[in-house]
Amino acid sequence: MLTALSIRDVVLIEALDLEFGAGLDVLTGETGAGKSILLDALGLALGGRGETGLVRHGATQAVVTATFDSPTGPLAALLDDNGVEVEPGEPLLVRRIVKADGGSRGFVNNQPAGAALLREMAPMLVEIHGQHDDRGLLNPRGHRALLDAFGRVDPGDTAKAWATYRAAETRLAAAQAEIETAARDREWLEHAVGELTALAAEPGEEETLADKRRGMQRAEKIADELAAIDDYLEGSNGGLSQLRQAARVLERIAEDHPALGEALAAIDRAVIEASAAEEQLADARRALAFDPRALEEDEARLFELRGMARKHRVQPDDLAALTEELRTRLERLEAGEDGIALLETAVAAARADYDAAADTLTQRRHAAAERLDAAVAGELAPLKLDAARFRTVVATVDAGSWSSHGKDRVEFEIATNPGAPFAPLAKIASGGELSRFILALKVALAEEGGAATMIFDEIDRGVGGAVASAIGERLARLAEHTQLLVVTHSPQVAARGAEHLLIAKSHDGTVTRTGVRVLGEAERREEIARMLSGATVTDEARAQAERLLETA
């Protein structure tokens, strides 16, 4: 619900702060007083075009702030999806600023918000109905939801059946596409699976083979060096043999001089170290021994793995997984017809479930349409629309337009004269008739929700007497369920208001301003008397105003 509206420097309004309550708020004033400025200002806050012409002459910017009750339901979800934080229970502040030199900015609870978000929020906050309005009830895209709300028709089962049906169709299409692709590649697939299976690659095998190959290649390279070392150490002329011979000679003469004994000890130590080296060389030779044939086989296997990986554009370690993937594709291809048949059966079953749910939904909509037509018809005669007829069209759309909402197109149609064909609601020529049709429909739909605030702009234009009274009575009835702001020229409507706001211009000799004030009981009676009698308020008009207020 709209609780407050603050306007600064919009057209003729310099500064204006208004508060609104629940029920029916009426706005009156002489022609040209600026009633439309209030609606323009509210429309600006809710994402309307930020035209520089809205900025009051001499001001640098126009600012409009609209305050609403704390958002709930879809509106709260929309704000959350757009990253706008609103504390639970706190009011919602929507502000729009338009610069005199061009450009505008929007804010929701002091957080920046684009005009697109404001426009998306607008229908959840306010419905504006006027003689030239092309939104709300005039937009057929919203008629189905309105009918469902009126008839308490829940499309939930149809939505679930639709989701299941679409998922089954998606699985079938994917399987058909895969089989079609696989069938084109059958020969290649069979060959690839055959050669990959024969290769039998294992994860990590390439690295293992590469390590072995490097080891054997190194052993091959140092084999000659090891043989040369053997020649130096072993044999009759090897170093170790020469040391032993030298030791035997020194043993015979070591006692002749201390130095000879020390030399013998050193040679003995050298013999021991050389023998140890000889043993270590033997160990190394055994460890580095390689079979040229084994090296050749490992190299061939390694090259085969790498070649196959390049062929299939994968890493060697991924060849095993690729083998299983291609084998699975081949198996699905070979068993494809059976799988497709099962998926087709699933699609047919899901389609049957959707058809049943959608047909039930359609039947409930037809029943709701009959009740809505009767409810609207009961409102037409008092609104001087006796000859008019209203009907709710529930038509089946093409299969390509089916959805989670069912198979129906819903549109409100009217015929304004006897014998005239039915036409969409928006095609009515008379603005007054259109406004009254909207009122009749809104009264019929009154208990079924919608925006928390509705605005009717001069819905009573061109009517008076009993018709104006009927309009006032229906607006009051409608205001029992939602907040109503009504711009009116009708005293019968004005008398029904729970609160009466007067819009008037003032002049100080140089500047013209538009102001709004809440009327007390005496002021209200005087304003309704003015509406009854015109420029000169008579006692008779005051008495009639009193009677209207008493009977409202």
Running DSSP on this structure, what letter comes out for residue 81? H
Residue 314 lies in a domain: yes
pTM score, two decimals?
0.59
- The per-residue DSSP string of 386-408 comes to TT-EEEEEEEEPPGGG-BTTBSE
Q: Residue 177: what pLDDT?
A: 85
CB atoms within 10 A of CB 2: 23
Residue 123 lies in a domain: no
Tens digit of each residue's pLDDT (9 = 90 or more) over 251-277: 888 788 888 888 888 888 888 888 888
Q: Residue 432: what pLDDT?
A: 65
Q: Residue 448: what pLDDT?
A: 58
CB-count burial class (<10 Å; 0-12, 13-18, 19+) for 412? buried
Q: Residue 411: what pLDDT?
A: 93
CB atoms within 10 A of CB 243: 17
Q: Residue 346: what pLDDT?
A: 94
User: Cα dihedral angle (428, 456, 369, 144), rounded to 10 degrees?
Assistant: 90
Residue 134 lies in a domain: no
Q: Residue 287: what pLDDT?
A: 65
- The per-residue DSSP string of 166-199 comes to HHHHHHHHHHHHHHHHHHHTHHHHHHHHHHHHHH
**Residue 469: enclosing H or E segment and its boundaries?**
helix 465-478
**3-state SS string for 319-338:** HHHHHHHHHHHHHHHHCHHH
Residue 98 lies in a domain: no
Closest CA relative to residue 29, chosen from 531, 512, 513, 497: 531
Counted domains in the chain: 1
Q: Residue 364: what pLDDT?
A: 96
Residue 222 lies in a domain: yes
First to last CA, the chain: 24
Helix (H, G, I), strand (E, B) or coil at 64: strand
Running DSSP on this structure, what letter comes out for residue 480? T
Q: Residue 140: what pLDDT?
A: 84
Residue 219 lies in a domain: yes
Q: For residue 85, which amino acid is it?
A: E
Residue 297 lies in a domain: yes
Euclidean distance between CA atoms 514 and 53, whole angstroms = 16
Residue 207 lies in a domain: yes
Tens digit of each residue's pLDDT (9 = 90 or more) over 416-469: 888 888 988 777 656 667 777 878 887 887 655 566 788 888 777 767 778 888
| Token code pair at residue 335 | 């068993």
Helices (H) and strands (E) in the chain, counts: 17, 15
Q: Which residues of the chain have pLDDT under 50?
A: 132, 134
Q: Which residues pair with 410 in a beta bridge?
A: 394
Closest CA relative to residue 106, chosen from 160, 136, 161, 64: 64
Euclidean distance between CA atoms 36 and 46, whole angstroms = 15
Helix (H, G, I), strand (E, B) or coil at 72: coil
Domain hosting residue 193, numbered range: 187-334
Running DSSP on this structure, what letter comes out for residue 155? T
Closest CA relative to residue 441, chosen from 429, 456, 420, 452: 456
**Residue 506: enclosing H or E segment and its boundaries?**
strand 499-507
